[in-house]
Amino acid sequence: MSAILFDSVRVAHRVLIELMRNRRLLFFWILFPTLMLLLFGWVYADEYGGLGPSFTWTAPGILLGAAMFFSCLGGPVSLIVGERERRTLRRLLLSPLSGTAYYGGVVLAHLAIALGQAAIVYGLTYAAGGGFRGSVWLGALILFLSAMCYVGLGFFFGARFAGRTEDVTGPVAAVGVPLLVMGGTFFPVELLPPFLHTLAQADPIYHMNMALKAVAQEGADIKAIALNLFFLLGFAACSLALGTRAYRQMLGRERAGA
């Protein structure tokens, strides 16, 4: 077990080092949530009584939707497809590294990326006069569960459907963008018509946003968001199971074709 953990940390370090070298991708992962936070912060400034309160309201949705959606879901997809295109995945299969350690390392790397994006989004929020009113530890739990949901789906899409980057861009956008809209990422879910609001109850991004907004804006405790947390816990378990299965099937195909 300790060997797997050690190897996972090494993989996470490798993934993060490669990300640092890919400065263009890193730049856009920082720029996109920053611009979205500034844009929607200014849009809602009059409604919420100033830039600070507006940033407090918009930060959770921007972090979960504009930042982590693309890094923690799109990141594993790009990583797996890139390994395939460069044919480095087969070299990994010939190394002593286990598939479990590789999977765990990618998960750890994207958790670190999520923490970095959270620091950027809430650093800007505090600079604008906003804040985080609830428990930081409870907020961290929500981010952890959200990242697990995204990473599991990222592995599923990347391992199951993608031979090239272009093969998965369309499916991810077709599924993801409606979920972002219905989940309350960019505007209050109260604006949704009743049938869409009911449908949104099955959207994991809805539960991410509702939980983090309740904690960040209202200082809600764990009892107030228990249903959201249970949903996210179940969805994270399912998405990780799907991602693990698809990843193992992909490894089997790669071994057969080696």
* DSSP label at residue 200: G
Amino acid 60 reads P
What global pTM score does this model have?
0.89
- DSSP labels for 149-172? HHHHHHHHHHHHT-SSHHHHHHHH
Low-confidence ranges of the chain (pLDDT < 70): 1, 88-99, 162-169, 254-258
What pLDDT is stored for residue 206 in this prediction?
Answer: 94
User: Which domain range does residue 105 map to?
Assistant: 2-257
Q: Which two tokens stand for residue 3?
A: 């060997």
pLDDT digits (tens, 9 = 90+) for 81-130: 777 777 766 666 666 666 677 778 888 898 898 899 999 999 999 999 99
What pLDDT is stored for residue 166 in this prediction?
Answer: 60
Residue that is written with structure tokens 């969805």 in the block? 235
Cβ atoms of 98 and 221 within 8 Å: the answer is no
What pLDDT is stored for residue 18 in this prediction?
Answer: 78
How many domains are contained in the chain?
1
What pLDDT is stored for residue 257 in this prediction?
Answer: 62
